[in-house]
A = this chain, B = another copy of it.
């Protein structure tokens, strides 16, 4: 772990913003997304708070209010910096936020020039993984924010709809398997508690469901037949008048979708994206299949390509055996979300290179779909 490792991650974050106008950094279309500017500042705040302020006795903060403005963890700090007001913080300006990043990087340069102990090393690695998570959120939030812009700006080409080359079904035999992180390298706390798990035999698809296959589901009335849907899913479809994946826009000639590279024609062979758990599950039901559990996904993951879509599993996000919350602010992160959410496995076109792994447990509430989420089918 050297400053070079740190710098590589940090520079990637800024590189994602190269084509943005100042105005693009500011807006927040819904409470569940954050402005680009906020991600840039918050990921810097992590290093300032948990390393520089903690271990450098003579450290001078860049700005006395920033630790208040860019902290995402506090409960009930009051209206002015409430999560749904992040898009109203016109000051500090974008330029000042980049100055803040530069200041932090400069300080970290000095800090990492000297030898570091294990505790610092662990926090540093956690901070870089944290920044990578915010890289993905920066991209997915940006897409959501710019989509509501009537000009559909093109700002980045991350090849959102790649080809895939898998073939047919993979069969896995009944047996006891080990689940969870095996101890080498970094992982989040929710991957720990490696444990045995009994699985009956099953088949899992080599490929993700494609746009073309999903269009068939739409055309056969998938969104208007309650029998494919969970009760909560049907309520969600009805109340929100959902008729297709997020970012799909119907016109006279068919559908287009919005990408960070602008409006595009639908690529029928590419994996479908931006679906809620409810939609993923209804599609599987319609197809006479089911979604895999997270254990089924993990056990079979060596036999298929993954990493372009976060794949909804049919597993609720729950603690593994012997799960323990780490003490303090850092450790609280994952445990408190272990209800009402479903596990997603894999990674996506927006995930930072090297960030994810087969034991990685991503999770979202069932209706959310602004991440690059997709479907892999399973059957007995």
Check if A315 sits within 8 Å of B318, measured CB to CB. Answer: yes
Given contacts A23-B90, A153-B91, contact A366 B380 (CB under 8 A): no
**Which of A22, A80, A93, A339 gathers the greatest number of chain B CB atoms within 10 Å?**
A339
Asked whether any CB of chain B lies closer than 8 Å to the CB of A163, the reply is: no
A 359-380 contacts with B by CB, 8 A: 366, 380
Contact of A321 among B200, B226, B315, B340 (CB under 8 A): B200
Select from chain B the residue with minimum beta-carbon distance to A177.
B198
Select from chain B the residue with minimum beta-carbon distance to A148.
B88
- Inter-chain CA distance A161–B315, complex, in Å, is 36
Asked whether any CB of chain B lies closer than 8 Å to the CB of A316, the reply is: yes
Check if A146 sits within 8 Å of B200, measured CB to CB. Answer: no
Contact of A94 among B23, B25, B316 (CB under 8 A): B23
Contact of A230 among B23, B75, B233, B338 (CB under 8 A): B338
Contact of A200 among B85, B277, B322 (CB under 8 A): B322
Mark each residue of chain A from 77 to 94: 1 if its CB lies under 8 Å from any CB of chain B, else 0: 000110001011111111
- Inter-chain CA distance A38–B337, complex, in Å, is 38
Select from chain B the residue with minimum beta-carbon distance to A81.
B150
Contact of A339 among B27, B153, B232 (CB under 8 A): B232
Contact of A148 among B80, B234, B281, B337 (CB under 8 A): B80
Mark each residue of chain A from 304 to 343: 1 if its CB lies under 8 Å from any CB of chain B, else 0: 0000000000111011011000000000100011111010
Asked whether any CB of chain B lies closer than 8 Å to the CB of A145, the reply is: yes
List of B residues within 8 angstroms of A321 by Cβ: 200, 380
- Inter-chain CA distance A302–B277, complex, in Å, is 37
Check if A198 sits within 8 Å of B200, measured CB to CB. Answer: no
Check if A281 sits within 8 Å of B339, measured CB to CB. Answer: yes
Q: Count of A residues near B, CB < 8 Å? A: 66
Distance (whole angstroms) from the CB of A5 to the closest CB of chain B: 31
Asked whether any CB of chain B lies closer than 8 Å to the CB of A297, the reply is: no
List of B residues within 8 angstroms of A27 by Cβ: 26-27, 87-88, 90
Asked whether any CB of chain B lies closer than 8 Å to the CB of A46, the reply is: no
- Inter-chain CA distance A2–B22, complex, in Å, is 37
Select from chain B the residue with minimum beta-carbon distance to A317.
B316
Contact of A340 among B65, B93, B229, B340 (CB under 8 A): B340
List of B residues within 8 angstroms of A146 by Cβ: 90
Asked whether any CB of chain B lies closer than 8 Å to the CB of A231, the reply is: yes
List of B residues within 8 angstroms of A145 by Cβ: 88, 90
Between A and B, 8 residue pairs with Cβ closer than 8 Å are A24-B90, A26-B27, A69-B150, A90-B146, A176-B198, A229-B336, A230-B338, A232-B339
Q: Which residues in A have some Cβ–Cβ distance to B below 8 Å?
A: 21-27, 29, 65, 68-69, 75-76, 80-81, 85, 87-94, 145-146, 148-151, 153, 176, 195-198, 200, 226-227, 229-234, 238, 277-278, 281, 290, 314-316, 318-319, 321-322, 332, 336-340, 342, 366, 380
Known: A23-B23, A23-B26. 13 other contacts (CB 8 A): A21-B91, A23-B25, A23-B90, A24-B90, A26-B26, A65-B151, A68-B150, A88-B148, A195-B200, A197-B198, A232-B339, A233-B339, A322-B380
